[in-house]
Homo-oligomer: A and B are copies of this chain.
Amino acid sequence: MEVVTGLKIGAVARQTGVAVGALRYYESLGLIQSGRGQNGYRYYLPQTVQQVQFIKKAQTLGFSLEDIGEVLHVHQQGDVPCEFVRSLLQNKIDQLDAQIQQMMAFKADLEQYRDRWATAQPPPSNNICPLIDSISIDESPN
């Protein structure tokens, strides 16, 4: 009896915490691949679990599935355009780096907000209801 080895979709779902539907969706985008048994079931390689975990990780960092697809495809073709691959990854890395910079700057911003609020209760004499006083007087050509 010739049968298929591999994880069924539910097993992958359990091991990764990703919903069955989501896995099918990933497959429809070509992010992961499966073989089919004669029953029509999908069977996945064990390494698929790693791949899915990679996807989750990348996703929480703001990469789109399309982005992730590029990287994964690259990772699995492997043979030919290794230089293209490198530059693609380098792009992502640079992107990430820039984002980290931004985040640190923004964090500093928020800390400033926080500290300003910690000390000065009513900021000298700012607008309470921010519009009321501004909506009158006179027109100037904008």
Contact = CB atoms under 8 A, between A and B. Distances in A.
| Interface size bracket, A side | 35 or more
A24 to B, nearest CB: 16
Interface in A74-93: 75-76, 78-79, 82, 85-86, 89-90, 92-93
A11, A57, A106: most-surrounded residue (chain B CB, <10 A): A106
Contacts of A36: 135
A61 interface: yes
Contacts of A4: 135-136, 139
Contacts of A104: 100
A63 B104 CA distance: 14
Interface of A: 1-8, 11, 33-36, 43, 45, 47, 57-58, 60-62, 71, 75-76, 78-79, 82, 85-86, 89-90, 92-93, 96-97, 99-100, 102-104, 106-107, 109-111, 113-114, 117-118, 121-123, 126-128, 130-132, 134-140, 142
